[in-house]
Amino acid sequence: MARVRRLRPEELDPSGRRVYDAIACGPRAGSGLVHDDGSLRGPFDAMLRAPAVGEPLQALGAALRYGGTLSDRARELTILRVAGVRDSRFERAAHEPIARRAGLTEDELAGLAADAEIGWPDPLEHTVDVAARTLCHHGAVDDDTYRSWVDVLGEERLVEVTALVGYYGLLADLLRVFAPEE
């Protein structure tokens, strides 16, 4: 049972409408995030409830999805690793088709969903996944681990992986707290 009723665009004040428009009409337009009644799916509805937080949050998500330097495969495996760890069915449903188009196999998708270790043949993808899994499951990152990640990813990509893990973990939390109706 949903905890909150979905907000429709005509119910929003101007600040909520700015967030709505950035999500529904921005780079995510056409990605299936808008219900037939105009309301937003998943964690995006929660962002409308606190526009001062929702606006920069959705902008961060758009930057991570559409402006980063990670390959599509690396980005999607990171997102799906977090979805697997956090049991985020919404994010899995949203991102598995994107991951398939990026070339992830059904076995890789199943492994991510089960939070299993995967033998990625590509060293960059392996490091991305190890970093994502580590960030999801463990506390501090020691100096040797940090250096090994930077050696493969560089600092810019490591920032991206770290931010993806945090952002998609936050989306999973928004879904768990607000339990919007789908």
Same domain flag for 124 and 165: yes
| Residue 1 maps to a domain | no
Q: Determine the pLDDT at residue 32.
A: 86
Digit-coded pLDDT (tens) for 42-90: 999 999 999 999 999 999 999 999 999 999 999 999 999 999 999 999 9
Q: Determine the pLDDT at residue 30.
A: 80
Boundary of a domain, candidates 66, 86, 103: 66
How is 4-66 classified by DSSP, letter by letter?
A: SPPPPGGG--HHHHHHHHHHHSSTTTTSS-B-TTSPBPTHHHHHHTSHHHHHHHHHHHHHHHH
Same domain flag for 41 and 81: no
Q: Determine the pLDDT at residue 1.
A: 60
**Single pTM value for the model:** 0.94
Burial class (CB within 10 angstroms; exposed 0-12, middle 13-18, buried 19+) of 40:
buried
What totals of helices (H) and strands (E) does the chain contain, helices first?
Answer: 8, 0
Which residue ranges of the chain lie beneath pLDDT 70? 1-2, 181-182
CATH of the domain at 138: 1.20.1290.10
Boundary of a domain, candidates 24, 44, 66: 66
Give CA–CA dist 47/104, Å, rounded.
Answer: 30
Number of domains in the chain: 2
Same domain flag for 42 and 81: no
| Residue 182 maps to a domain | no
Q: Determine the pLDDT at residue 26.
A: 86
Same domain flag for 54 and 77: no
Q: Determine the pLDDT at residue 182.
A: 65
Domain ranges, residue 29: 9-66
- pLDDT above 70: percentage of residues in the chain: 97
Q: Determine the pLDDT at residue 169.
A: 97
Q: Determine the pLDDT at residue 5.
A: 87
| Residue 107 maps to a domain | yes
Give CA–CA dist 108/120, Å, rounded.
Answer: 9
